[in-house]
Structure 1
Amino acid sequence: MIRTTSAPTTTSSSTPVAGGGDGRRGRAQGEGRHPSRGRLRSHRAARGVLAGALAAAVLAGCGAKAEAKAPHATGKAPTGKATTKPGRTSGDRTAVSPLDNPDGTRPGLAALTSQAERARGAQYINGVRTAAAGRQTGYDRKKFGYAWMDTADGVPMARNHCDTRNDLLRRDGKNLRFRSGSRCVVVSMNLHDPYTGKDIAWKKQKAAAVQIDHVVPLSYSWRMGSARWNQAKRQQLANDPLNLLPVDGPANNGKGDSGPSEWLPPNKDIRCAYAVRFAQVAVKYGLPVTRSDKKVMLAQCGK
């Protein structure tokens, strides 16, 4: 009588199912005529399978980590970084506080947020003298020179072979693209508008979407004293980067030739900085402001 035995089957992949009493079954499972040798080979095979599975898991895990550390392996440029292409230059800049930009050559208009900054701003505004506004009689934009002239004496960026408007777009714009063959004429850019707080993707085909604002309007200056200046000084005021900001076109249209008591930027966070910039221009050119304008300017900085 031939007795057959079988070992209990388990779910572990490291423990093979044992061969039975008839030789054909044993040989089919690789044990042949020597059950002990067959079991040994089965154990070795199982260990090989387990080792292979573990290696695959480790490799898969490493691959996942590699992908996590290199999210740009798809060939796309990392987001948030400017890329330079033929005919394009990066114009990424950060807006500067008016307190740190006394000549207006640095980009933008940053908000004054700390108590110390606002106190300094109010102190500067306090230095502006006041006077009653005169009349508009005789005002003409042409008396300030032709628009965006590059030949105004006594101002930064003059006589650099680039007109004032494009100088300002280059100063404040980001991701600048120039006309073919030019390093002056901007045809597209991104602009953060301080007056509204919004970002504008601008193209020259719709030029009026971004306008250059005279912080102290030329006709305002006329009423406050520039009517008595010579032509050269008026040209200087009209082209001085301290008095010029590229801004949202509709917002600039809404301002017109108003002083601070009649118009302030819709973006309330920038109003103290705007009042300081208005004061900087007034002080530089010896222009007074009206009493009501000065009161409103001080209020923007908490005074």
Structure 2
Amino acid sequence: MTLSLASPHRARTAAAWTSAAMALALLTGCSGAPADQGGGPASAESTTTTPGESSAAASSAPAETPSAAAEPTVAPAASSEALSALNGLRVAARGTMSDYDRDGLFGGWIDADGDCEDTRQEILNRDLDDVVSADGCRVDSGILNPDPYTDTTINFVRGPATSSDVQIDHVVSLGNAWITGARNLTQQERVELANDPLNLLAVDGPTNQAKSDKPADAWLPPNVDFRCEFVAIQIAVKVKSELWVTAPEKTAMTEVLADCEGQGLPTGATVAVGDIDGNAPAPVVEAPVPAPAPVQEAPAPEPAPVAPAPVAPAPVAPAPAPEPAAPAAPAAAFANCTAAKAAGAAPLYAGSPGYAPKLDRDGDGVACEK
């Protein structure tokens, strides 16, 4: 029995093909010849699962613990960083899609960096040439040259009938992510995975529809020259999001990497909601904040001279009131007014020297008046 796996770049010996086929048949329980090229190896486990499907290998628990699966035995592959990363991934049976809800579990496109372009527009800007955007928020036209999946050139024009000509593909489909560990991620981590530029490519729309949720063992790009990079991207995304691979999936990836000597592993900065960009987010270089000029404190004003408190003058002892003059002994009353007039004292007033009532004939207090 012979088995033709998707490895178009170089021929293998009959013994190698036979060994690979027997190992794959033991793992999958499938003895039929799988499809080559665009379809990739097919098996009962690799067919696309639809909502409501149940499987002995599927788990409906909210958080999955992947069951161990036998490691696939494949023909020796060329050494590469991508292959080393693949061999570091856990191999387990796929989970169930019976509870899969794409929008509810992964959300839609977001504008994480707040520049008015959602993730679709960011990827169109990254992958298309000659981009035209009238409002700076949506791509109106551009050229996908080439489309990585078909190696053709696509002229993109935004519009109800033409926008779907170029679609943004999740290289690791969200359905495949869900059944290989994404149910164990938080809601925010799933949104980040769905909007991660590392996992996104602008591609031919009809080809993307044909790919759907298929894993590498059920679908590979028709463009054979892109398969090495395609598988490497899938491995990188699974490493980054801590997803696992199924045994048939690992077999198909290993077979592709057998022709990919030195295939590197694409890398990307961790994409957080609020920090996504069309390309890997560029580090944010903040302008240095100038150190504030030292504040020179105004010298404290010298205290105004304090006038000495007025010293109350020592109380001056009041001059002693003059002793009232002792009343002079009343002068002897004039003998008569003629004497008073002769002395120049007339008229005489009562109480004045020389006054005498006898001289005041009318008793008005004035004596010797003229």
TM-score interval, smaller chain: 0.5 to 0.7
Which letter maps to 2:153?
D
- The normalised TM-score by structure 2 is 0.47
> Following the alignment from structure 1 to structure 2, what is the Cα–Cα distance between the partners of residues 267 and 137?
32
Of the three residues 81, 97, 119, the one matched with 1:164 is 119
Q: CA deviation at 1:131?
A: 1.1
Runs of 4+ more than 6 Å apart? none
- Larger CA deviation: 127-136 vs 166-175: 127-136
CA offsets 1:49-72 (integer angstroms, 9 cap, x no match): xxxxxxxxxxxxxxxxxxxxxxxx
Distance 1:133 1:268, change over 3 A: same
Of the three residues 196, 211, 224, the one matched with 1:268 is 224
Of the three residues 230, 242, 267, the one matched with 1:286 is 242
CA offsets 1:118-175 (integer angstroms, 9 cap, x no match): 7333223222221110100211112244421123xxxxxx433310000000011100
Which letter maps to 1:195?
Y
Distance 1:282 1:188, change over 3 A: same
Distance 1:301 1:145, change over 3 A: closer
Residue identity over aligned pairs, in percent, reads 39
Structure 2, unaligned stretches of length 5 or more?
A: 1-77, 260-370
Task: Count how many residue pairs are aligned between Structure 1 and Structure 2.
Answer: 180
- Could you say which residue in structure 2 is the equivalent of 1:125? 86
Q: Give the match's secondary structure for 1:202.
A: strand
Matched, 1:196 2:157: no
- Could you say which residue in structure 1 is the equivalent of 2:163? 207
> Following the alignment from structure 1 to structure 2, what is the Cα–Cα distance between the partners of residues 129 and 145?
23
- Larger CA deviation: 262-271 vs 216-225: 216-225
Of the three residues 160, 172, 180, the one matched with 1:216 is 172
> Following the alignment from structure 2 to structure 1, what is the Cα–Cα distance between the partners of residues 94 and 198?
22
Aligned alpha-carbon RMSD (Å):
1.8
Matched, 1:139 2:100: yes
Distance 1:118 1:150, change over 3 A: farther
- Could you say which residue in structure 2 is the equivalent of 1:175? 130
CA offsets 1:155-200 (integer angstroms, 9 cap, x no match): xxx433310000000011100011x2x2221011000211111111
Larger radius of gyration: 2
Distance 1:261 1:200, change over 3 A: same
Q: CA deviation at 1:298?
A: 1.3
Which letter maps to 1:198?
T
> Following the alignment from structure 1 to structure 2, what is the Cα–Cα distance between the partners of residues 288 and 195?
24
Q: Counting helix residues as a fraction of each chain, which structure ranks higher?
A: 1
